[in-house]
Structure formats: C-alpha cells, structure tokens
Amino acid sequence: MIVAPKIRGFICTTAHPAGCARHVADQIAVVKNRGPVANGPKKVLVVGSSTGYGLASRIAAAFGSNAATIGVFFEKPGEADRCGTAGWYNSVAFEKEARAAGLYARSFNGDAFSDAMKAEVVEAVKKDLGQVDCVIYSLASPRRTHPKTGEVFKSVLKPTGGASYTNKNLNTGTGVVNEVTIEPANDDEVAQTVAVMGGEDWEMWIDALQSAGVLANGVQTVAYSYIGPEVTWPIYKNGTIGRAKEDLERAQRALDARLAPLKGKAWVSVNKALVTQASSAIPVVPLYISLLYKVMKAGGTHEDCIEQMDRLFRERLYNGDPQPDEAGRIRVDDWEMAPEVQQLVDERWKQVNTENFPQLGDFEGYQSSFLRLFGFGLEGVDYNADVDTGVGVPSLA
C-alpha cells in the first residue's frame, strides 16, 4: 500500500510502517552515539511502551544499557489493506532492532489497566526474566475500566476551581492563533480524570509485581509528570490533569514505602513539554510548545523524547545523582524551565498572533514533529513506494 498522512484535528489516522521504523532507528542512534550507560538497568518493564516517552524509555534502556525489555501498549495491528497505529509499527521496529542486537524483547498488546494484563506480564517476567529491576509507567489514556468494579472512567482536560479559562490557542492544522475558552470541570470530572491518569493503576502494577516476587532488590520505578509555566497552569498543573498528577505523587510516596524492604525507589520524573499523541490533544499547550521549540532550538537546548529519556537514565536514575527537587521529584524539565528560556517564551506569548506566529513560533517544527509521530517526513523513506502495512510485532506473531 502507498500510505499518506490523513489528519483529523489532532490525530493522524494513518501511520507509515517504514517511517515509524526509521523514527525508531533514529532514536536508537541517538542513544548509541552517547555510548553505554554505566550501571544501567538490565531487566525493564515499560507500561505504555509504544509511543512518546514510554517508547523512548524502552529504547534508552535497551540500547543504552543492553536491557531486556517487556513492553505493554494498546495499539491496533495493521492489515495488508489497512494501516495499524504508529505505536504498533514502532513496536514492530523496536523488537526487530532489539533482536538484531541480541537483546530480549517481548511485547503485550492490550489493556494495561486490566488484572488479566498484569497477570500475563507477571507470568512472562517470572518465566523469561525472573525479576525486573526497573518499571517505567508511561500510560496516557482518555479512559480506564476499573479492574475491580468494571466502572469506566473518562478523563477530561479542563480547568478546576469553578472558573472558565480563556487563553490563546493554536489551530495546529492552519497556524491560526485564536482564543479558546474552556469551561471548568465539575467534581465528578475531576474524580474521573484522577481515576484514569492518577496513581492507582501504577500502584496496582507494582503490587502485582511485588506480591509475585518479581521485583529485584534495588528496583526503581518511575512515572511521568509535567508542571510547566504559569501560562499553562489553569489547563495543566491546576487543571484536571494536574489533579491526576498530584495523585501520581501521592502514589509515588506510597510506593516508596512499599518498596523499602527491597531497598527500591519510586520516582515521579517531571519531563519536558513535547509533541506527542497525548500532548497534542491539550488546548493551549501546542501554542506554548511551538514558542518553546523556537527558543530552545535557538539556544541549543532543545530535546525530543529520546534525548529526555536518555538523560533521565544516564544523568539521574543510574549515575547515583538523581537531583530531586524539594518535593522529591526528578526534573528533566530543567532546561525547559530555565529562567532565560521562560522569560523569552513569556514575552512572545504576550505578543503572539496569527500574523507574527511564523516568526515567533516554530510551526514548521511543531508540524514536522507531529507528522514524525506517525512515521511521515523522515529522511531516507520513500513515501511513493509500496509498503507492507500488515507487518507484525515479532513476539506477538
């Protein structure tokens, strides 16, 4: 099939298998070029391993530390006449590259929130690896079926506190900068968002693994969060998603206590704002990201998911110097939050409109990053050539 991008709002409904493979190979090259991570993890479980930060974590662990990896994701396989999702093709490519490098890699496609998935993964760890020494929790989902009650929770991206929020917003298709007003969430919407994106499921994963005895001594587990600048706080830090992230920090403290007998450690890592399938759905944030990319690229400090996750492993988790902030969080958003970066972004935020956006923002960078998520616009890929959309993930074949 010849595969071209089909964009509907903030998603692309097609994905290019060869382009996704190129994207994965490029990320592997970044890690390999930086050399091995001394004392890195050896047996790693990544929950949410097929795209964005989770995929980058899996790549950083495998190709920085020669780690065996188990990945869990929820993706649609491709067929001969129909595209699968980008995360499916990323996982096909990752497993092929890992196997070619002599690394163990096994994947599970299904609902990570379910008890059945946890049980399957625990069995695989037991049988294939014995134990894991690192568990990365990187799910981003709009809904969760609670495994005990069957209740379906839906997350929303809204301000809390009863007041609506109006700010500038980017139409990521056209480059038009307009205003958006988002009505506040009610208490039920807050609770549902916390149920989907908060820490309960992370705790359930660690419970399942710990009670089966498959967590190694000294295990580290990390979940990802975002804080960002004040301009985004009403929709992020102080919004429904921020409430879920507070709950993630609650879970981190609970897990820390639970892992103490293993001399283990739970972390929340605050990562940089980046174009991913999850972040492109958040109002206001894509405009902020476009301004941020321009400033950070000019300053030479721009990173993508893979550079972020490589730095997390190399310069925080496995070098004996995690540099936690006052709340005990790891910060790899430090370059994003640098005062000189934020000051420039803030000045431009105040000025930006449709007319000056091409000068102030990195729209080209935003759009090309978005397309790359789906395997489009990568160098060295012949997009006019027929490509097999029915490729399978080796361990799921």
Active site residues: 236
C-alpha–C-alpha distance, residues 26 and 36, integer Å: 17
Query: What's the distance, CA 252 to chain centroid?
Result: 18
Q: How far is the CB of 193 from ligand NAD (least distance, A)?
A: 11
- The reply to whether 196 sits near ligand NAD by the rule CB under 6 A is no
Q: How far is the CB of 395 from ligand NAD (least distance, A)?
A: 16
Between 210 and 225, CB nearer to ligand NAD = 225
If you search the block for the tokens 């929790």, which residue do you land on? 137
State the helix-helix crossing angle for 240-259 and 200-211, rounded to 10 degrees. Answer: 20
- The reply to whether 139 sits near ligand NAD by the rule CB under 6 A is yes
- The reply to whether 221 sits near ligand NAD by the rule CB under 6 A is no
Scanning 15-23, 32-40, 109-117, 251-259 for contacts with ligand NAD by CB under 6 A, the matching segment is 109-117
Q: How far is the CB of 272 from ligand NAD (least distance, A)?
A: 6
Scanning 4-12, 172-180, 207-215, 220-228 for contacts with ligand NAD by CB under 6 A, the matching segment is 220-228
Between 238 and 262, CB nearer to ligand NAD = 238
Contact 385, 16 (CB under 8 A): no
Q: How far is the CB of 2 from ligand NAD (least distance, A)?
A: 26
- Number of chain positions touching ligand NAD (CB under 6 A): 29
Q: Which of 10, 76, 111, 156 binds ligand NAD (CB under 6 A)?
A: 111
- The reply to whether 210 sits near ligand NAD by the rule CB under 6 A is no
Site for ligand NAD in 140-159 (CB under 6 A): 140-141
Scanning 23-31, 37-45, 223-231, 386-394 for contacts with ligand NAD by CB under 6 A, the matching segment is 223-231
- The reply to whether 54 sits near ligand NAD by the rule CB under 6 A is yes
Q: Which of 14, 155, 225, 252 binds ligand NAD (CB under 6 A)?
A: 225
Site for ligand NAD in 325-384 (CB under 6 A): none
Contact 366, 172 (CB under 8 A): yes
- The reply to whether 87 sits near ligand NAD by the rule CB under 6 A is yes
- The reply to whether 50 sits near ligand NAD by the rule CB under 6 A is yes
- The reply to whether 75 sits near ligand NAD by the rule CB under 6 A is yes
Q: Count CB atoms within 10 A of the CB of residue 163.
A: 10
Token pair recorded at residue 377: 């616009």
Binding site for ligand NAD (CB under 6 A): 48-54, 72-75, 87, 111-113, 138-141, 224-226, 271, 273-274, 276-279
